[in-house]
Each structure stands twice: as structure tokens, then as C-alpha cells.
Amino acid sequence: MLRKLSSLILVGVAGLAMSGCSGGGGTDGAATGSSAGAGGGNDKIVMGFAQVGAESGWRTANTKSIQESAAQAGIELKFSDAQQKQENQIKAIRSYIQQKVDIIAFSPVVESGWDTVLKEAQRAKIPVILTDRAVDSPDKSLYKTFLGSDFVEEGRKAGQWLVDEYKDSKDPVNIVELQGTTGSAPANDRKAGFQEVIGADPKFKIAASQTGDFTRAKGKEVMEAFLKSTPKIDVLFAHNDDMGLGAIEAIEGAGKVPGKDIKIVTIDAVKDGMQALADGKINYIVECSPLLGPQLMDLSKKVLAGEQVEPRVVTEETTFTQEQAKQALPERKY
Ligand code: AHR
């Protein structure tokens, strides 16, 4: 109770701190937090969630899942959108520490550079849960658990599709790669997993590889450049659906047929990606589930109740062919 009362005073100060961190576009924790929990003097669990941004269909679905699950679980959510900037996420986390929330969860935009702020949370005795993306800190005591996909495995699955698709061909296969945000766990891990599988056969060559920052606009822009600089492109590997969808626009703009002239494999399986797969414009999608909200709320309650939780909780995921996408689309939730 004392902790909740003192937070009544601090929340005003924290509100000022937060107003500098959301950059105007997204929601932020101090602005969207309701009157309960840390600021309202009741016993509701208060969670501060520092989101990466709104860069993709996946991220929008992830935010919705977290907001809806918090409401269903009776957890008060203070939510901030970092607009893909690490400094904004750090400011948001510091604000949650000042507000003395009960628990902090966040999806780190990049892997490095978190130790200082995580130590601040630890000193304030506020447990932290990583969702979706990992940090590279060797000190695992800085967070209670990491909930999310196995991105290396996703990259391997994309590579395996390619190996199977070209198993009867001896000709060189020229690949262009649209990487996710530089320094992020999904970009690093998907690249590594993909390379591990295709690297076993020298006919697979990555002719060009560049970041498209997980956005549709950048995916289009970089693919346009690839089409100009790389004379023969057989395959596009895009680290997410949105960049793949942007690239499809670039490929069509160049008078080529996506899915035929250039085969495309992506990761996520959001509705727009699944529609393009069903329409034959994408050839294969490796699923990455954004529906992390229910597990996150469950883990948070356990952590705050002092129960032991697994240090790593891996999301269950599948893959989709064009036929499977047609079947799955009517029921697809995001
Ligand atoms: O961290 C998950 C990745 O982030 C998703 O694959 C991508 O779409 C998002 O922006």
C-alpha cells in the first residue's frame, strides 16, 4: 500500500519524463495509464510495457494482444510506443521505475545496451519480463524470463524451404535478403538460421542483403535498389511479411511476377502476408506468432506471486504453403 501511495506523488513527475519520450506519434504509458494501480491506490497489478513501435502488421497484432489480455487478466497496463528507438524505450522503462509499477515487460528494439537500465529496475526490486525479442546481456538475473519465438529456428525453416524447392536443380540460386532492424534479435537470428541451412550447398548465393527495418515502405525501397543492382534474382528472403509485401510492389513495378519470376519466402504469417501467399505472390511463410499477451499476463502473475517460472518460454509456431494459406485465411485472427 505504502508503495502504491508514494507512487501517487511520483506519477506526476514521471508523466513529465514520459512526455519527452513518445515523440508525439504513439501512445505512452503516463498518458494512457488509467487511474487504478500505481497511480490509483488499489491493489491491481500494474504493468509497464515498453513496446518497440508500430512498424508492422505483426507489431499491431502484438500490441492488441497485450492490451486485450491485460484487460482480461485485470492488470492495469501502462503502455509506451518507442517508435523503433532504443533511447525512447529506455526513457519509458525509467519512467515505469519512477512510477513504481509492479512489473515491467518490454520487447527490446535491439539486443545490446540494456544492462544499465535493467540494473536500475533490479535495484528498485521491479521484476522484468522480456517478450518477443532478447537482450544479449550475459547476466540472466536481470530479467525473470524471456517469452517469444525461436528466431534462429524460423530462419532455418525458411532456408529449408529453399533447399527443398531447389533440390532437383544444379544451377546457381541467386538470393536477395531483406533484413529486419539492424541489431535486433530477429534480424540477427533469422539471418544466422537461414545461412546455416543454405550454407551447406554452394549453389545458394546471397547476392545482396540489406535492412528494410521491418517496414513495408523500406522493403519496397530496398527491393527497388536490388532490382537495379542485381541482374539475376531468383529468390527473395524477407525477414518479415511487411517487407515482403513492399518488395512485391517493387517487383510488379519492374514488370516482373512475384512468386514466379522471383520466388519469395517471408516470416510472420499476418493476414496481408497470408493473402499474398494464397494469391501466389509469396511462395512460403514461416509463422511468428504475435499473440503473446495471455502468456505474458500469466507469467507476470506467477512472478509477482513468487512462483518459479521457466527462464525461457518458446512460442509454438508452424509454416504455411500457398494451399495451407487458403485453408487458414478465413480463421486467421490477425
Ligand atoms: O520481433 C518480431 C518481429 O518484429 C516481427 O517478425 C516483425 O514483423 C516485427 O516488426
Rounded-to-integer distance, Cα 187 and Cα 184, Å:
5
Whole-number Å distance between alpha carbons of 111 and 128: 15
Calculate how far, in angstroms, residue 169's C-alpha sits from the geometric centre of ligand 1: 32
Give dist(CA 235, CA 297) in Å, integer: 40
Local confidence band at 166 (pLDDT 50, 70, 90 cut-offs) = very high
Helix axes 151-165, 185-198, angle to 10 degrees: 30
pLDDT in tens, 246-263: 999 999 999 999 999 999
Distance, in Å, from the CA atom of 194 to the CA atom of 283, rounded to the nearest integer, reads 16
Taking the C-alpha atoms of residue 156 and residue 191, their distance in angstroms, rounded to an integer, is 9
Least confident of 9-13, 51-55, 59-63, 280-284: 9-13
> Is residue 237 very low, low, confident or very high in pLDDT (cuts 50, 70, 90)?
very high
The rounded distance, in Å, linking the Cα atoms of 333 and 271 is: 8
Ligand 1 centroid to Cα of residue 226, in Å, is 22
Query: Is 56's C-beta closer than 6 angstroms to any atom of ligand 1?
Result: yes
Lowest mean pLDDT, pick from 11-25, 34-48, 101-115, 118-132: 11-25
User: How far, in Å, CA of 214 to CA of 227, rounded?
Assistant: 19
Average pLDDT over residues 213-222: 98
Query: Tell me: the pLDDT tens digits for 138-162?
Result: 999 999 999 999 999 999 999 999 9
Dist CA 115 CA 108 (whole Å): 12
- Distance CA(325)–CA(319), nearest Å, equals 9
Position 42 scores a pLDDT of 65
Q: Is the pLDDT of residue 38 over 50?
A: no
Mean pLDDT of 27-45: 50
Strand locations in the chain, DSSP E?
Answer: 46-51, 76-81, 103-106, 128-131, 145-148, 173-179, 204-211, 235-238, 263-268, 284-287, 312-314, 319-320
In this prediction, residue 333 carries a pLDDT of 86
pLDDT at 43: 84
Instruction: For ligand 1, say whether the CB of 268 is within 6 Å of any of its atoms.
Output: yes
Check pLDDT > 50 for residue 5.
no
Q: How far is the CA of 63 from the centre of ligand 1 (A)?
A: 12
Task: Give residue 246's pLDDT.
Answer: 98
Q: How far is the CA of 109 from the centre of ligand 1 (A)?
A: 10
Q: What atom in ligand 1 is closest to the CA of residue 267?
A: 6
| Domains of the chain by start residue, with CATH | 28-34+41-149+290-316 (3.40.50.2300), 151-288 (3.40.50.2300)
Cell numbers representing residue 55 in the block: 512498424
- Asked if residue 143 has its Cβ within 6 Å of ligand 1, the reply is no
329/283 Cα distance (integer angstroms): 15
Q: How far is the CA of 10 from the centre of ligand 1 (A)?
A: 34
In the predicted model, is pLDDT for residue 25 greater than 70?
no
Q: Say whether pLDDT at 84 is over 90.
A: yes
For 276-313, the pLDDT digits (tens) are 999 999 999 999 999 999 999 999 999 999 999 999 99
